Structure 1
Amino acid sequence: MTNHQLLALLKVNMGLPLTPELAADICLAADRLATLIPAENIQRIEPEQHGDLAFSVERIEGITDEIEPLHRAHWDETEEHRHELPFNPDYETFIRYERAGRYVLFTLRSETRLLGNCALYLDKSAHTQTLIATEDTLYLLPEARKGRVANCFVTYVENAMRLLGVSEINISVKTVNRAERFFRLLGYRHVENGLTKILAVENV
């Protein structure tokens, strides 16, 4: 993954004195991920209305405070195996990936109220060189789990991924709910098993 901005900055300033301003620019460029999906491509994903519910793409950068309670509810419901660890989302990292077109957040709202979200990391497979989406979070509040809402929301996400050229979606499901059966009905296949072990470590 080449950081073209960093290379261009170094090339232009090669042989020049390293000023504090240039050093700051280099640090910023070095921390920036190379863009995978241009922002204008993601902006082509149109919102959809399903009854009184709206599906759309939003930037986590703009709704961090609003989405944190939803992430907390998700954590409390499905992450019991990690409850000895702190709930401490790194929103700066989410934003960094989002700015690079490597993280897309889908939301489900009733009027203005946030009822659900699905976030996917995007990357290019080193094995096939095709785009892969990996689910980071998919959660709907209980009041939004009615009828075919979840089905329609996932279909919306899948169609958006097709629009971006993604050919594979990988998701994980927890054993504490019935999500695996739901995704099997949508055509997802059980292709591997994952195991987790929480290690006791010293605070560093």
Structure 2
Amino acid sequence: MAIIAVATTKGGSGKSTLAACLSAYWAESGVTVQTLDTDPNRNLLARLDGSGIPCLGVDEEAILMAVAAAAKEVEIVIVDVAGALARGMLYAVSAADIVLIPCRPDRNDVVEAVRTQEVIRQAEVMTRRSIPHSALLTQVNSRAQVTGQTRTQLDALGIPYFGVNMPARTAYQQASYTGAPLADTAVQKDIAAIAAAVTELMERGNA
């Protein structure tokens, strides 16, 4: 069983897309999954509508109870954390086994990744345990110089990041309309690689 928080203090970085794709990947692999959408706009709930993947909209004050209830029923709980909810983010991160920080190759997103890590550090103090976490570069153009610059900045600021990333593809945008996160073959390969990296992070955290 694992509780995964997908969190960043900045909107537009791909939290809901990542949460939707990972939940679809594990569900199709035969793993029981529950997703929790803490964003008042319910973006994840809308993305997964009709997909067959269970998604529950959760208000800020109910996050801890919802995570605890879901963890009793399924193997993986994925929490899409609204960046605007300061307490909600702290609650979700405190309950998580690992935290994924979506980060576009952009200076502002790197700054927000640092702020998100600060929340994780607060949660570690509260829970008296280490919370494994890693940034995931999203909307990546591998040929763009800014991608390398972003990795350099993350290194300099002490933010761990995955060696895999989520490329910029129109298929991710199309999936928001179709409710089929993994309909595209290229997306399937992206998410399989990301899921493997996330699993490795979980295993290291449990070691």
| Same fold, TM-score > 0.5, yes or no | no
Normalised by the length of structure 1, the TM-score is 0.32
Please identify which structure carries the higher strand content. Answer: 1
- The TM-score, its normalising length taken from structure 2, stands at 0.32
Name the one with the larger helix percent: 2
